[in-house]
Amino acid sequence: MLKNINILLIRCAPAIETEIRSLLRASMQNGAIVDISKVRNMINKDSPVSVDDSEYLNAIAASYAPIASFLGAGYSPVVVLGAFSVDSMNSFIADYSGKGVVSVSLYVNDDTLAHLLLKKKNRETHIRLHATDTLVRRKNKRRLHYASLESTQVINRYIYETRCQADVCIDMSALDADSVVAELLRSVNALCNKEEA
């Protein structure tokens, strides 16, 4: 598992977020996951989302309370998933200075991103079959912009272009599900071991 890390901040595009959340949930049994997109969806406003919009930044700020609660209850690491801009990532890290924070940039090539987005949409379609029409219309309106291939590519490319701003950067394109988690754990632990030496 991860040594000396209380918070693992993972920057990634929405389709990657969905994939990595399920993979981490299975492998980090004593941790917790705070997904900024899920917090953002609590805001009752139907507007497009980008890494720098005010609702997204408000969602990052609102995530501090559950992060503190999880840490206080002994869950570790708390994984924070989101499409963080460099500024919002640096601000988050500064706010948790001395708390054992490691930042990771995850990205994929365009073909893999399109595949992950299709997989995410198929999963959501299955869920929507059991929801009410009003709820479906509201969710569809909000997700039209955020989950489009074009907007997801913009976020993914931004994270790729700024990947070296994070402590660890991983290209997930050629990795299968088990390899993604293994590489994430290996890279983060290698960083921690290097800092200890």
What's the rounded Cα separation, in Å, for the pair 135 and 158? 31
Token pair for 108: 């994929």
What per-residue confidence (pLDDT) applies to 144? 44
State pLDDT tens for residues 64-74: 999 999 999 99
Q: Please, are residues 13 and 113 in contact by the beta-carbon 8 Å criterion?
A: yes
**pTM of this prediction?**
0.84
Q: Is 54 left (phi over 0), alpha (psi -120 to 50) or beta?
A: alpha
In this prediction, residue 169 carries a pLDDT of 95
Residues of the chain with pLDDT under 50: 142-146
Quickly name the fold that domain 7-189 has: Rossmann fold (3.40.50)
Domain coordinates in residue numbering, the chain? 7-189
Quote the CA–CA distance of 107 and 169 in Å, as a whole number. 8
Structure tokens at 39: 């917090």
